[in-house]
Amino acid sequence: MQVSAMSEQECGELLQRVFIGRLGCSLDNQPYVVPVGFAYEPGYVYVFSTLGKKIEWMRENPKVCLQADEIGTSSNWVSVIVTGTYLELREPQYTIERQHARKLLAKHNNWWINAVTERREETNDIAIKGLFFRIDIETISGLRATG
């Protein structure tokens, strides 16, 4: 098996192909990782989320990362990691950016369903409010393994 570095363009292509990634954040030296759906464009990652621990933590410490991959077999895979800064797209300051995020996420079927359904398991409040956030990408790296 060979493992080689991917170019930035190849990393971007993977991030455009896949929808599920693992978001990493941390607070007080404690890491926290959750799966999320995301949309990518050069420089940015967009996520739709409900309010909870990850949002509370990222508000406190906006330094975050996101990992995504395509795993064929144990010797054929690609994996990309971005690091960056959390930015909550609040109304009314970021109305245009929210609309843009929604448009990009909507390229994926049922882009909102995991966030909202997970929350409905825990609450009777049917009117669960979602929020959009963006990761302003600072670094991007990728590895490709070929058997």
User: What residues contact 118, with CB distance under 8 A and at least 6 apart?
Assistant: 50
Which of 50, 54, 75 has the alpha carbon at shortest distance from 66? 54
Stretch that binds ligand FAD, among 2-10, 80-88, 96-104, 113-121 (CB under 6 A): 113-121
Q: In whole angstroms, give the CA distance from residue 50 to residue 14.
A: 26
In Å, how far are 11, 67, 97, 136 from 83, measured between CA atoms?
Answer: 13, 9, 20, 8
| Count of Cβ atoms closer than 10 Å to residue 15 Cβ | 23
Told to check if 40 binds ligand FAD by CB under 6 A, we report no
Told to check if 52 binds ligand FAD by CB under 6 A, we report yes
Stretch that binds ligand FAD, among 3-11, 46-54, 74-82, 94-102 (CB under 6 A): 46-54
Nearer to ligand FAD among residue 20 and residue 71 (C-beta): 20
Stretch that binds ligand FAD, among 6-14, 43-51, 75-83, 88-96 (CB under 6 A): 43-51
Least Å distance, CB 21 to ligand FAD, is 9
Told to check if 100 binds ligand FAD by CB under 6 A, we report no
Cβ proximity of 27 and 61 under 8 Å: yes
Contacts with ligand FAD, residue ranges (CB under 6 A) = 20, 34-37, 47-50, 52-54, 114-115, 118
